[in-house]
């Protein structure tokens, strides 16, 4: 895997991918690299107008579809319209935004980053032939799943903690899905990835003075979105990627560099919390997740 780059992506001709949030940043770079390798890619985005130029740049291998992960009705509509794919990449997300709620009343970061993708995966899984890749973040390290107040209804809202919680939920979901798929004898696998410190449009949405520093950091310290997409691309395409494994950059304490197996906070291995989070996610999203 040493110094793995997009040049190492196997031929993807004839394979179909769904990439959420592919209108910019990591998702757009992921879609471009997959299409360059021969794949057909669906850019599943809330802002379809913003996604159209990305699809036009990619060419005939790309299509755009409406998907708002902060609205379960939109998730169900998209899932009904999708006739299947080899790989689902749960990439879309929001980060450190002010307190807002989704159309279904969930805290926006947990609702978009985890619950929307949980419901989408549940609805699409019977149509996914190969694997599911879910994006987490190194910020999962600060996340602690509060099963008594998942949607920040009783606590004072803290935007970075809420983001960390949602990213821990992504990691727990990806690992739990992997175990359940393996137990069911499924040929489908579940991997998790994170981009390290990559310059994307996620930064700069906090509506605080922090935005100035994050934009400065993007210019000075961060790697590019294309480089940040490498762990996702490895997880999504490499024949060596393994079920339940977390992939990320391997240099500068996991902030940049070629993709490899990533360390993670061992809270993500708490089987009791993972099982309860799964059940709660089913209840909140009104989905019956059959593996």
- Is 177 contained in some domain? yes
- Is 291 contained in some domain? no
- Give the whole-angstrom CA distance, residue 240 versus residue 213: 38
- Is 26 contained in some domain? yes
- Is 38 contained in some domain? yes
Q: Please state, as a whole number, how many other Cβ atoms lie within 10 Å of the Cβ of residue 65.
A: 17
**pLDDT for the residue 217:** 45
- Is 2 contained in some domain? no
Q: What CATH number has the domain bearing residue 256? A: 3.40.50.720
**pLDDT for the residue 201:** 62
Q: Which of 136-145, 156-165, 219-228 has the lowest mean pLDDT?
A: 219-228
| Residue 215 reports pLDDT greater than 70 | no
- Give the whole-angstrom CA distance, residue 265 versus residue 253: 14
Please compute the mean of the pLDDT values over residues 92-115 and round it to a whole number.
Answer: 97
Over residues 239-261, the pLDDT tens digits come to 999 999 999 999 876 777 899 99
**Mean of per-residue pLDDT scores for the chain:** 93
- Give the whole-angstrom CA distance, residue 276 versus residue 218: 37
Over residues 256-289, the pLDDT tens digits come to 789 999 999 999 999 999 999 999 999 999 999 9
Q: How many distinct structural domains can be found in the chain? A: 1
Over residues 157-194, the pLDDT tens digits come to 999 999 999 999 999 999 999 999 999 999 999 999 99
Instruction: Return the active site residues.
Output: 163
Please compute the mean of the pLDDT values over residues 2-18 and round it to a whole number.
Answer: 95
Grade residue 232 by pLDDT with cuts at 50, 70 and 90: very high
- Is 1 contained in some domain? no
* Closest C-alpha to 120, from 168, 172, 66: 66
- Is 78 contained in some domain? yes
Query: Structural domain of residue 119, as residue ranges?
Result: 7-284
**pLDDT for the residue 202:** 60
pTM: 0.93
Over residues 22-64, the pLDDT tens digits come to 999 999 999 999 999 999 999 999 999 999 999 999 999 999 9
- Is 249 contained in some domain? yes
**pLDDT for the residue 208:** 58
């Amino acid at each position: 895997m040493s110094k793995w780059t997009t040049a190492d992506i196997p031929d993807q001709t004839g394979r179909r991918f769904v990439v959420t949030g592919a209108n910019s940043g990591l998702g757009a770079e992921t879609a471009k690299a997959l299409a360059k390798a021969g794949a057909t890619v669906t850019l599943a985005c809330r802002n379809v107008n913003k996604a159209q130029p990305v699809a036009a740049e990619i060419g005939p291998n790309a299509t755009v579809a409406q998907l708002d992960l902060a609205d379960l009705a939109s998730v169900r509509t998209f899932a009904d319209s999708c006739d299947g794919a080899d790989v689902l990449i749960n990439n879309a997300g929001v980060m450190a935004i002010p307190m807002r709620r989704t159309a279904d009343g969930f805290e926006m970061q947990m609702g978009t980053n985890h619950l929307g993708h949980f419901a989408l995966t549940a609805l699409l899984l019977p149509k996914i032939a190969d694997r599911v890749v879910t994006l987490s973040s190194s910020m999962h390290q600060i996340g602690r799943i509060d099963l008594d107040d998942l949607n920040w209804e009783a606590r004072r809202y803290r935007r970075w903690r809420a983001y960390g919680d949602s990213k821990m939920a992504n990691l727990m979901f990806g690992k739990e899905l992997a175990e359940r798929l393996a137990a069911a004898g499924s040929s489908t696998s579940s991997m998790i990835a994170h981009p390290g410190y990559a310059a994307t449009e996620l930064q700069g949405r906090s509506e605080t003075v922090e935005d100035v520093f994050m934009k400065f950091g993007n210019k000075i310290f961060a790697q590019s979105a294309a480089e940040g997409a490498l762990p996702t691309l490895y997880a999504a395409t490499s024949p060596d990627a393994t079920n339940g494994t977390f992939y990320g950059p391997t240099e500068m304490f996991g902030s940049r560099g070629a993709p490899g197996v990533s360390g993670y906070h061992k809270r993500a291995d708490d089987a009791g919390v993972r099982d309860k989070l799964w059940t709660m996610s089913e209840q909140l999203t009104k989905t019956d997740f059959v593996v």
